[in-house]
Structure 1
Amino acid sequence: MLFSLRHRILLLLSCIILVNLVGAGVTLWYTQRSQELQSGIIDTEVGAVTAAHDLTAELLSQRGYTTYFFLNGDETWLKQMQTHHKAFQDQLAKARNTSLLPGGREILNEIESQYIRYVYAREQVINHYKNNRKDDGARLHWTIRERFHNILDLCDQFRKLHEDSIRMQRTEFILQSQALVGLAVAGIFLSTVVGIWLGWVVFRRVLDPIRDMATGSAQDNTEHLPVDNEVEALGDKLRTLITDVGDVQKQLDASRESLMHSEKLALVGKLAAGVAHSIRNPLTSVKMRLFSLERSLELDDNQREDFEVVSEEISHVESIVKNFLEFARRPKLHPRRQSPSDVVDTSLRLLRHRLESNGIEVHLRRDAKLPEVPLDSDQLKEVFVNLFINACDAMVSGGAITVTEETGLIDPMGEVAVIRIADNGPGIPKDIMDKIFDPFFSTKEEGSGLGLAIARRVVEEHGGWLHVRPGEDGGAVFIIALPGVRRSAWLRS
């Protein structure tokens, strides 16, 4: 039995509506699943990884105090060690609250057991030192080092356990997203086939007879259709079809954006926690060494000034770590009138030892200092430091960095201050030249991929731009253009 025209159109429209309903249902389910997975990673696993990093940091912070007490007998070291001991116990309790994996609880129990034995042995060493039995204390001191490293290995196992859990959940997330993409492609294909079929039916069975009737070429025996009602009904169906196809595309776009957003949030959560706490660990050791050196050395004025500069820069690095954790929030500028040349000099002075130790020569081409403009010197300094460090890392066997300063006119910015930073390193491959300013893109194994992205954003918030091009003799040239006095007036508001 053949279907009538009305039944065919109704059947095709029903198929399209069914595809849309299935697509919408799958999209809603996947969105909810993405939120649950995102919440699970951020609230539990990332929290456990963070606790593992904090636990390792507090354990490492206790290293060396017993030796320092042995060297100078100052009980201040013991007080500081006791502070970190309490902090370690607090972090251990926090790790128990965040870890939901059975293996994690077993590792934490082993950490606690070995740490108690380690603390007891350490107290015996300290008592030997206090009672002037230094030889006995030294022998016992060497035996507890192995316990310390065992505890450190257990902390690493706890961290890796939760990192593996995050990777497994991310793999599951990717597989589900691939399945959704496949379903979406199948839905688009099915909608396309049904739409083409519906179009063919409409053209051959509706529009052609209407056209024949309009031109008077229809056969005498042609069945007369209620043209007015049929055309109106046909128009309604076509409008419904167009609307449904548009809704399917919007739903697919929304699903794709939700997928990308959820994946980035999971990556940022893991990356921010790992990088921030990895930076804080060496900073703690640097602070401790500086404190010890400052107490034990007799410094002249220049050396003391160097110590103060190093201490200030360590605090500044801590501020950078905090800003990194809040990367999604746009930083607020605090401008004051200053020459960009002063910021360049400060950056080079800060990196002088690093550049010299890597065999990097710096050539500064400046006829006169650039004019003063309102700028945030701290944030702009980070831009220059980032570019200098990138150039230094690229030239592993030494080389030269050329900094050229000049003023000029660039349409539509008007008067600008231009700083070019060129190196004679290997340069940037053409296939990644357009990607280096993308967030989280990095060619370094330990890079976060945020340095150049933040640098461009800082320059753009000053009203300028940051570009890169290949050098004439190899290497890369980064060009910073900052607006002059007239264009920078907005910064005073």
Structure 2
Amino acid sequence: MSLSLRKRILLLLTAIVLVNIVGAGVTLWYTQRSKALQSGIIDMEVGAMHAAFGLTSELLSQRGYTTYFFLNSDPAWLNQMEIHHKAFQEQLALARNFSTLSGGRDILNEIESQYIRYVYAREQVIEHYKNNRRDDGARLHWTIRERFHNILTLCDEFRALHEQSIQKQRASYLRESAMLVALAVTGILLSAFAGAWLASVLVQRVLNPIRDMAVHTLEVMDPGHKKSGTKVDNEVEALGEKLRTLISDVGDVQKQLDASRESLMQSEKLALVGKLAAGVAHSIRNPLTSVKMRLFSLERSLVLDEHQREDFEVVSEEISHVESIVKNFLEFARRPKLRPRKQSPSDVVDMALKLLRHRLESSGTEIVLKRTSRLPELPLDADQLKEVFVNLIINACDALVTGGTITVTEETGLMEPMGEVVVIRIADNGPGIPPDILDRVFDPFFSTKEEGSGLGLAIARRVVEEHGGWLHVRAGDEGGAVFVIALPGSRRSTWLRS
């Protein structure tokens, strides 16, 4: 039974759609399966491996302290041993959280049991040494060495067990990958076969007849169409009109693409300018330092009158300004590397205010610090965050040409999607920022100062974002500008996730 053209086209289209749906479904299933598999490896097995290495490291770190105490009776060795003892217990608890293998839990139980007996015997040895029974302590000391090595062997077995588990999951992942590749190749072949069949049907049964029909119709309506260029006013003409409309739409899209390409080229030029500027800044930094040192030597060795000294001071200030611009270029060209440690942001605010105290007093600027209690400790890089506060306060001070008030407010709260946050607001009662440039103040190389590099706020925002927070500016309720810094109150900074 011969199928009609309509049925054949619909059948081929249905086959292609089904093949693609099945392929997409298999790909989605495998993606979710692979995600779950890798998540299990990363979250559990790798965590257990790290804990196993931690157990071995902390156990080995306890070796020798009893002997050192025997040699010079210095209690500092016992303090160090106690630190590693607590760290070993913490690693043991961590290993229990990550280990999901029954054999792993059995090994951990055995490690804990033998470690308790080992610690008890070790304390007896230390007690002998403290009571000057060195011979008794030395004899018992030799007996606990075997227990130590047994525990070390169990730690190695625990690590090896999870290494084998990771290898098994990796093998499973490779098998599933091979299956997916086979399915994908099969789907591609089926799609290619169905597509080729559909193309053949369309060309032979649809396109060729339409072309022949158009040619024959044009020949019938205008026998001299090849010389006159007359077009047929029929269904083909209607299709041609549709095609011209489509071409026009394509032209509009092309214009949009050209505009996007222009914007992209502009962004690339800006990035290139930044790299070139950073390179130039790096090249002139050493000569600039040499000039500054020579100028300092000349100032100390020469006898200058008042006007000459004033000239020296102007030159020195200008060199310092150029050095500051060079420093900004270099800082902007590289991403900030954070060296975090737990500290309250309130301490960093105090350091910045102490650093700027003389400058604020000389400019007649009053600082108002609103703090109900010190902000909680967070993992942060105090030096880089201090530079952010210094930059924002100096900008506010520069905006207050004839003096004014800068208000620093500290508070905690909830903010979506960050959750718990600490917020520091730096507000001034100056003229404020014009609304038309409010959204551009953080753009690199944009500055309203005649001698500014336009990188200070861009660097400040980058540092805050590296801490997992954000830096925002808005107009003050009573004039001036308000810079708002929000830092995550929980351990959600980008450098903690990396």
TM-score range, shorter chain: 0.3 to 0.5
Larger RCO (alpha carbons 8 Å, 6+ apart): 1
TM-score, normalization by structure 2:
0.45
Structure with the greater alpha carbon radius of gyration: 2
